Structure 1
Amino acid sequence: MQRRLYFTLPDAGSARAVLDELLLARISIRHIHFLARQAMAAELPTLGLLARTDIVHGAQLGAAIGAVIGLACAIGLAFYPIAGWTAGTFTILLLMLGGALLGSWASAMNAAAVPNTRLRRFAAALAQGRVLLILDLPAARVDDIEAMLAQRHPAASFGGMEPPALAFP
Protein backbone atom coordinates (compact mmCIF):
# COMPACT_ATOMS: atom_id res chain seq x y z
CA MET A 1 0.00 0.00 0.00
CA GLN A 2 1.36 3.41 -0.98
CA ARG A 3 1.62 6.40 1.31
CA ARG A 4 1.92 9.97 0.05
CA LEU A 5 4.40 12.16 1.96
CA TYR A 6 4.87 15.91 1.64
CA PHE A 7 8.08 17.85 2.33
CA THR A 8 8.96 21.49 1.68
CA LEU A 9 12.47 22.30 0.51
CA PRO A 10 14.15 25.72 0.54
CA ASP A 11 15.05 25.98 -3.18
CA ALA A 12 15.54 24.14 -6.47
CA GLY A 13 19.18 23.32 -5.65
CA SER A 14 18.21 21.41 -2.54
CA ALA A 15 15.41 19.76 -4.54
CA ARG A 16 18.03 18.44 -6.98
CA ALA A 17 20.15 17.13 -4.08
CA VAL A 18 17.13 15.42 -2.50
CA LEU A 19 16.23 13.86 -5.86
CA ASP A 20 19.72 12.37 -6.11
CA GLU A 21 19.49 10.99 -2.56
CA LEU A 22 16.08 9.44 -3.24
CA LEU A 23 17.26 7.81 -6.45
CA LEU A 24 20.26 6.36 -4.60
CA ALA A 25 17.81 5.03 -1.98
CA ARG A 26 16.08 3.11 -4.83
CA ILE A 27 12.93 5.23 -4.99
CA SER A 28 11.58 5.15 -8.53
CA ILE A 29 11.50 8.50 -10.28
CA ARG A 30 7.83 8.00 -11.13
CA HIS A 31 7.06 8.17 -7.38
CA ILE A 32 8.85 11.50 -6.87
CA HIS A 33 7.18 14.82 -7.77
CA PHE A 34 8.14 18.45 -7.28
CA LEU A 35 5.97 21.56 -7.36
CA ALA A 36 7.23 25.13 -7.26
CA ARG A 37 5.93 28.54 -8.14
CA GLN A 38 8.92 29.34 -10.35
CA ALA A 39 10.12 27.27 -13.29
CA MET A 40 12.33 24.35 -12.26
CA ALA A 41 15.09 22.53 -14.09
CA ALA A 42 13.92 20.07 -16.71
CA GLU A 43 15.47 17.06 -14.94
CA LEU A 44 13.21 17.47 -11.88
CA PRO A 45 9.97 15.49 -12.24
CA THR A 46 7.05 17.87 -11.89
CA LEU A 47 3.53 17.23 -10.69
CA GLY A 48 1.07 16.23 -13.42
CA LEU A 49 -2.12 18.07 -14.38
CA LEU A 50 -4.45 15.69 -12.49
CA ALA A 51 -2.53 16.13 -9.23
CA ARG A 52 -1.89 19.86 -9.69
CA THR A 53 -5.51 20.80 -10.33
CA ASP A 54 -8.85 19.79 -8.83
CA ILE A 55 -10.07 17.89 -11.93
CA VAL A 56 -10.68 14.57 -10.15
CA HIS A 57 -12.65 16.10 -7.28
CA GLY A 58 -14.62 18.27 -9.71
CA ALA A 59 -15.49 15.30 -11.94
CA GLN A 60 -16.68 13.25 -8.96
CA LEU A 61 -18.81 16.09 -7.64
CA GLY A 62 -20.20 16.86 -11.10
CA ALA A 63 -21.11 13.20 -11.68
CA ALA A 64 -23.06 13.05 -8.41
CA ILE A 65 -24.90 16.31 -9.03
CA GLY A 66 -25.55 15.42 -12.69
CA ALA A 67 -26.99 12.02 -11.74
CA VAL A 68 -29.34 13.65 -9.23
CA ILE A 69 -30.48 16.21 -11.82
CA GLY A 70 -30.94 13.42 -14.40
CA LEU A 71 -33.04 11.48 -11.89
CA ALA A 72 -35.13 14.58 -11.15
CA CYS A 73 -35.73 15.08 -14.89
CA ALA A 74 -36.74 11.43 -15.27
CA ILE A 75 -39.16 11.67 -12.35
CA GLY A 76 -40.59 14.85 -13.83
CA LEU A 77 -41.00 13.11 -17.17
CA ALA A 78 -42.74 10.17 -15.45
CA PHE A 79 -45.30 12.43 -13.76
CA TYR A 80 -45.71 14.91 -16.62
CA PRO A 81 -45.17 13.06 -19.91
CA ILE A 82 -44.29 15.18 -22.94
CA ALA A 83 -46.17 14.29 -26.15
CA GLY A 84 -46.82 10.74 -25.08
CA TRP A 85 -43.32 9.94 -23.79
CA THR A 86 -43.34 7.67 -20.79
CA ALA A 87 -40.37 7.25 -18.50
CA GLY A 88 -39.70 3.57 -18.02
CA THR A 89 -36.82 2.10 -16.08
CA PHE A 90 -34.47 2.29 -19.05
CA THR A 91 -35.29 5.95 -19.63
CA ILE A 92 -34.67 6.80 -15.97
CA LEU A 93 -31.30 5.04 -16.03
CA LEU A 94 -30.37 6.65 -19.34
CA LEU A 95 -31.21 10.14 -18.05
CA MET A 96 -29.24 9.52 -14.85
CA LEU A 97 -26.23 8.30 -16.83
CA GLY A 98 -26.46 11.22 -19.25
CA GLY A 99 -26.72 13.68 -16.37
CA ALA A 100 -23.74 12.09 -14.62
CA LEU A 101 -21.60 12.21 -17.76
CA LEU A 102 -22.56 15.79 -18.62
CA GLY A 103 -22.13 16.96 -15.03
CA SER A 104 -18.78 15.21 -14.72
CA TRP A 105 -17.47 16.72 -17.95
CA ALA A 106 -18.66 20.25 -17.21
CA SER A 107 -17.43 20.22 -13.63
CA ALA A 108 -14.03 18.77 -14.61
CA MET A 109 -13.56 21.53 -17.19
CA ASN A 110 -14.23 24.16 -14.54
CA ALA A 111 -12.05 22.42 -11.96
CA ALA A 112 -9.07 22.37 -14.35
CA ALA A 113 -8.50 26.02 -13.50
CA VAL A 114 -8.63 25.48 -9.73
CA PRO A 115 -5.52 24.41 -7.77
CA ASN A 116 -5.75 21.10 -5.94
CA THR A 117 -7.47 21.58 -2.58
CA ARG A 118 -5.15 19.00 -0.97
CA LEU A 119 -2.19 21.26 -1.73
CA ARG A 120 -3.81 24.41 -0.34
CA ARG A 121 -1.92 24.11 2.96
CA PHE A 122 1.38 24.54 1.07
CA ALA A 123 0.36 27.73 -0.76
CA ALA A 124 2.19 30.04 1.66
CA ALA A 125 5.42 28.06 1.41
CA LEU A 126 5.20 28.00 -2.40
CA ALA A 127 4.58 31.75 -2.44
CA GLN A 128 7.81 32.23 -0.44
CA GLY A 129 9.76 30.40 -3.14
CA ARG A 130 10.00 27.02 -1.46
CA VAL A 131 9.68 23.74 -3.40
CA LEU A 132 7.14 21.08 -2.51
CA LEU A 133 8.32 17.45 -2.67
CA ILE A 134 5.66 14.76 -2.96
CA LEU A 135 6.69 11.14 -2.48
CA ASP A 136 4.58 8.04 -3.06
CA LEU A 137 6.23 5.33 -0.99
CA PRO A 138 5.41 1.81 0.15
CA ALA A 139 4.33 1.84 3.79
CA ALA A 140 7.39 -0.20 4.81
CA ARG A 141 9.80 2.48 3.51
CA VAL A 142 8.17 5.56 5.04
CA ASP A 143 10.14 5.62 8.30
CA ASP A 144 13.47 4.96 6.55
CA ILE A 145 13.02 7.75 4.01
CA GLU A 146 11.79 10.22 6.64
CA ALA A 147 14.85 9.50 8.80
CA MET A 148 17.18 9.79 5.81
CA LEU A 149 15.75 13.16 4.77
CA ALA A 150 15.82 14.49 8.34
CA GLN A 151 19.46 13.46 8.76
CA ARG A 152 20.89 14.50 5.39
CA HIS A 153 18.65 17.49 4.59
CA PRO A 154 17.71 19.31 7.81
CA ALA A 155 16.28 22.24 5.81
CA ALA A 156 13.55 19.94 4.47
CA SER A 157 10.48 20.24 6.64
CA PHE A 158 7.94 17.42 6.86
CA GLY A 159 4.54 18.55 5.61
CA GLY A 160 2.46 15.53 6.52
CA MET A 161 1.19 12.26 5.12
CA GLU A 162 -2.09 11.53 3.39
CA PRO A 163 -4.21 8.72 4.78
CA PRO A 164 -4.12 5.61 2.62
CA ALA A 165 -6.53 5.52 -0.29
CA LEU A 166 -9.12 2.77 -0.54
CA ALA A 167 -8.33 0.01 -3.00
CA PHE A 168 -11.90 -0.02 -4.33
CA PRO A 169 -13.52 3.42 -3.94
Structure 2
Amino acid sequence: MKRKHVYLTDDLEQAREAISAARRAGVLDDDIVLIARNDIEMEVLPENRRSADTDFQPAAVKGAMTGGSVGIVAGLVAMVIPPLGVTVAGAAAIAALGAVTGTWASSLIGSALPDPIRRRFDDEIQAGRILVVVDIPDESLALVDAEVQRTGASQLPFEEPSAMT
Protein backbone atom coordinates (compact mmCIF):
# COMPACT_ATOMS: atom_id res chain seq x y z
CA MET A 1 0.00 0.00 0.00
CA LYS A 2 1.11 3.56 -0.63
CA ARG A 3 0.65 6.60 1.57
CA LYS A 4 0.39 10.18 0.43
CA HIS A 5 2.86 12.55 2.14
CA VAL A 6 3.01 16.31 1.58
CA TYR A 7 6.18 18.41 1.75
CA LEU A 8 6.36 22.20 1.80
CA THR A 9 8.98 23.96 -0.33
CA ASP A 10 9.71 27.68 -0.63
CA ASP A 11 10.21 27.82 -4.39
CA LEU A 12 10.43 25.81 -7.60
CA GLU A 13 14.15 25.10 -7.19
CA GLN A 14 13.64 23.53 -3.77
CA ALA A 15 10.65 21.58 -5.15
CA ARG A 16 12.88 20.20 -7.93
CA GLU A 17 15.46 19.14 -5.34
CA ALA A 18 12.74 17.39 -3.31
CA ILE A 19 11.53 15.59 -6.45
CA SER A 20 15.07 14.44 -7.25
CA ALA A 21 15.53 13.21 -3.68
CA ALA A 22 12.27 11.24 -3.82
CA ARG A 23 13.33 9.66 -7.13
CA ARG A 24 16.73 8.71 -5.71
CA ALA A 25 14.90 7.05 -2.81
CA GLY A 26 12.98 4.90 -5.30
CA VAL A 27 9.70 6.78 -5.80
CA LEU A 28 8.27 6.41 -9.30
CA ASP A 29 7.85 9.52 -11.42
CA ASP A 30 4.07 9.02 -11.65
CA ASP A 31 3.83 9.10 -7.85
CA ILE A 32 5.01 12.72 -7.52
CA VAL A 33 2.91 15.83 -8.16
CA LEU A 34 3.22 19.50 -7.28
CA ILE A 35 0.53 21.83 -5.97
CA ALA A 36 0.95 25.59 -6.21
CA ARG A 37 -1.02 28.77 -6.63
CA ASN A 38 -2.74 28.88 -10.04
CA ASP A 39 -0.46 31.56 -11.50
CA ILE A 40 2.64 29.59 -10.47
CA GLU A 41 1.22 26.32 -11.82
CA MET A 42 0.39 27.82 -15.20
CA GLU A 43 3.69 29.63 -15.64
CA VAL A 44 6.35 27.30 -14.29
CA LEU A 45 5.08 23.82 -13.45
CA PRO A 46 5.28 21.16 -16.15
CA GLU A 47 1.83 19.77 -16.95
CA ASN A 48 2.76 16.22 -15.90
CA ARG A 49 3.61 17.52 -12.39
CA ARG A 50 0.35 19.40 -11.76
CA SER A 51 -2.13 17.97 -9.32
CA ALA A 52 -5.82 17.71 -10.09
CA ASP A 53 -7.78 20.64 -8.70
CA THR A 54 -10.75 18.56 -7.59
CA ASP A 55 -11.61 15.58 -5.42
CA PHE A 56 -13.14 13.75 -8.43
CA GLN A 57 -11.16 10.49 -8.47
CA PRO A 58 -11.23 9.67 -4.74
CA ALA A 59 -14.93 10.56 -4.64
CA ALA A 60 -15.67 8.26 -7.59
CA VAL A 61 -13.84 5.34 -5.94
CA LYS A 62 -15.65 5.85 -2.64
CA GLY A 63 -18.99 6.16 -4.46
CA ALA A 64 -18.42 2.93 -6.38
CA MET A 65 -17.55 1.05 -3.20
CA THR A 66 -20.46 2.46 -1.21
CA GLY A 67 -22.99 2.14 -4.03
CA GLY A 68 -21.86 -1.40 -4.81
CA SER A 69 -22.11 -2.41 -1.14
CA VAL A 70 -25.60 -0.96 -0.82
CA GLY A 71 -26.58 -2.63 -4.10
CA ILE A 72 -25.35 -6.04 -2.90
CA VAL A 73 -27.33 -5.75 0.33
CA ALA A 74 -30.45 -4.58 -1.55
CA GLY A 75 -30.09 -7.44 -4.05
CA LEU A 76 -29.72 -10.04 -1.30
CA VAL A 77 -32.70 -8.66 0.58
CA ALA A 78 -34.76 -8.73 -2.62
CA MET A 79 -33.78 -12.39 -3.15
CA VAL A 80 -35.12 -13.49 0.22
CA ILE A 81 -38.53 -11.85 -0.34
CA PRO A 82 -40.31 -14.49 -2.45
CA PRO A 83 -43.02 -12.27 -3.99
CA LEU A 84 -40.32 -10.14 -5.65
CA GLY A 85 -38.91 -13.15 -7.52
CA VAL A 86 -35.37 -11.78 -7.78
CA THR A 87 -32.75 -14.33 -8.89
CA VAL A 88 -29.00 -14.33 -8.26
CA ALA A 89 -28.54 -12.61 -11.64
CA GLY A 90 -31.08 -9.99 -10.58
CA ALA A 91 -29.22 -9.43 -7.31
CA ALA A 92 -25.98 -8.96 -9.27
CA ALA A 93 -27.71 -6.47 -11.55
CA ILE A 94 -28.97 -4.53 -8.52
CA ALA A 95 -25.42 -4.48 -7.11
CA ALA A 96 -24.03 -3.21 -10.43
CA LEU A 97 -26.71 -0.55 -10.62
CA GLY A 98 -25.85 0.55 -7.08
CA ALA A 99 -22.14 0.82 -7.98
CA VAL A 100 -22.89 2.85 -11.12
CA THR A 101 -25.26 5.15 -9.27
CA GLY A 102 -22.82 5.63 -6.38
CA THR A 103 -19.95 6.39 -8.77
CA TRP A 104 -22.01 8.88 -10.74
CA ALA A 105 -23.39 10.74 -7.72
CA SER A 106 -20.08 10.87 -5.85
CA SER A 107 -18.18 11.96 -8.96
CA LEU A 108 -20.52 14.89 -9.44
CA ILE A 109 -20.04 15.98 -5.86
CA GLY A 110 -16.27 15.34 -5.93
CA SER A 111 -15.79 17.37 -9.11
CA ALA A 112 -17.18 20.41 -7.31
CA LEU A 113 -14.93 20.07 -4.24
CA PRO A 114 -11.31 21.20 -4.17
CA ASP A 115 -8.67 18.55 -3.59
CA PRO A 116 -8.36 17.82 0.18
CA ILE A 117 -4.68 18.82 0.20
CA ARG A 118 -5.53 22.16 -1.45
CA ARG A 119 -8.28 22.76 1.12
CA ARG A 120 -6.07 21.94 4.09
CA PHE A 121 -2.96 23.89 3.05
CA ASP A 122 -4.56 26.76 1.15
CA ASP A 123 -2.75 29.41 3.24
CA GLU A 124 0.66 27.99 2.26
CA ILE A 125 -0.36 27.72 -1.40
CA GLN A 126 -1.69 31.29 -1.50
CA ALA A 127 1.56 32.51 0.08
CA GLY A 128 3.38 31.27 -3.04
CA ARG A 129 4.91 28.10 -1.64
CA ILE A 130 4.91 24.84 -3.56
CA LEU A 131 3.69 21.53 -2.14
CA VAL A 132 5.36 18.32 -3.24
CA VAL A 133 2.92 15.42 -2.89
CA VAL A 134 4.48 11.96 -2.94
CA ASP A 135 2.78 8.55 -2.91
CA ILE A 136 5.24 6.42 -0.94
CA PRO A 137 5.18 2.62 -0.56
CA ASP A 138 4.92 1.67 3.13
CA GLU A 139 8.28 -0.10 3.08
CA SER A 140 10.04 3.08 1.86
CA LEU A 141 8.38 5.69 4.11
CA ALA A 142 11.35 6.36 6.41
CA LEU A 143 13.92 6.48 3.60
CA VAL A 144 11.88 8.79 1.36
CA ASP A 145 10.93 11.11 4.25
CA ALA A 146 14.58 11.44 5.29
CA GLU A 147 15.81 12.07 1.73
CA VAL A 148 13.17 14.66 0.90
CA GLN A 149 13.56 16.50 4.21
CA ARG A 150 17.33 16.60 3.66
CA THR A 151 16.64 19.06 0.79
CA GLY A 152 15.10 21.54 3.24
CA ALA A 153 11.50 20.59 2.43
CA SER A 154 9.27 20.38 5.49
CA GLN A 155 6.87 17.48 5.92
CA LEU A 156 3.36 18.76 6.55
CA PRO A 157 0.93 16.98 8.89
CA PHE A 158 -0.89 15.01 6.19
CA GLU A 159 -0.80 11.28 5.62
CA GLU A 160 -3.47 9.17 4.05
CA PRO A 161 -3.64 6.03 1.96
CA SER A 162 -3.44 6.71 -1.77
CA ALA A 163 -6.83 6.36 -3.44
CA MET A 164 -5.84 3.80 -6.03
CA THR A 165 -3.56 1.46 -4.07
Q: Which TM-score tier does this pair reach, normalised by the shorter chain?
A: 0.5 to 0.7
SS of 1:13's equivalent?
A: helix
TM-score by length of 1: 0.65
1:158 corresponds to which of 155, 159, 162: 155
1:88 aligns with 2:86: yes
Bigger radius of gyration among the two:
1
Contact persistence 2:59–2:109 (CA under 8 A): no
Aligned partners of 2:34 and 2:148: how far apart in 1?
Answer: 15
- The change in CA–CA distance for 1:36 and 1:167 in structure 2 (over 3 A counts) is closer
Aligned partners of 2:99 and 2:139: how far apart in 1?
Answer: 39
Aligned residues: 156
SS of 2:62's equivalent?
A: helix
Unmatched 5+ stretches in structure 2: none
Deviation at 1:164, TM superposition (A): 5.0
Which residue does 2:51 correspond to in 1? 47
Which residue does 2:113 correspond to in 1? 114
- The structure that is helix-richer by fraction is 2
Contact persistence 1:53–1:111 (CA under 8 A): yes
Report sequence identity in percent: 22
Deviation at 1:113, TM superposition (A): 2.3
Cα shift readout 1:74-101 (whole Å, capped 9, x = no counterpart) = 96xx79x8xxxx4423445423432331
Deviation at 1:8, TM superposition (A): 1.0
Contact persistence 1:16–1:44 (CA under 8 A): no
Deviation at 1:143, TM superposition (A): 2.6
Which residue does 1:6 correspond to in 2? 6
Contact persistence 1:63–1:101 (CA under 8 A): no
Cα shift readout 1:87-134 (whole Å, capped 9, x = no counterpart) = 423445423432331232232133122123355322221122211111
TM-score by length of 2: 0.67
- The change in CA–CA distance for 1:20 and 1:112 in structure 2 (over 3 A counts) is same
Unmatched 5+ stretches in structure 1: none
Q: CA RMSD in A?
A: 3.8
- The change in CA–CA distance for 1:106 and 1:19 in structure 2 (over 3 A counts) is same
Contact persistence 2:63–2:99 (CA under 8 A): no
Aligned partners of 2:118 and 2:27: how far apart in 1?
Answer: 22
Matches within 5 A, 1:1-169: 1-38=1-38, 39=41, 40-42=44-46, 45-48=49-52, 52-61=54-63, 64-65=66-67, 68=70, 71=74, 86-89=84-87, 90-117=89-116, 119-153=118-152, 156-160=153-157, 162-163=159-160
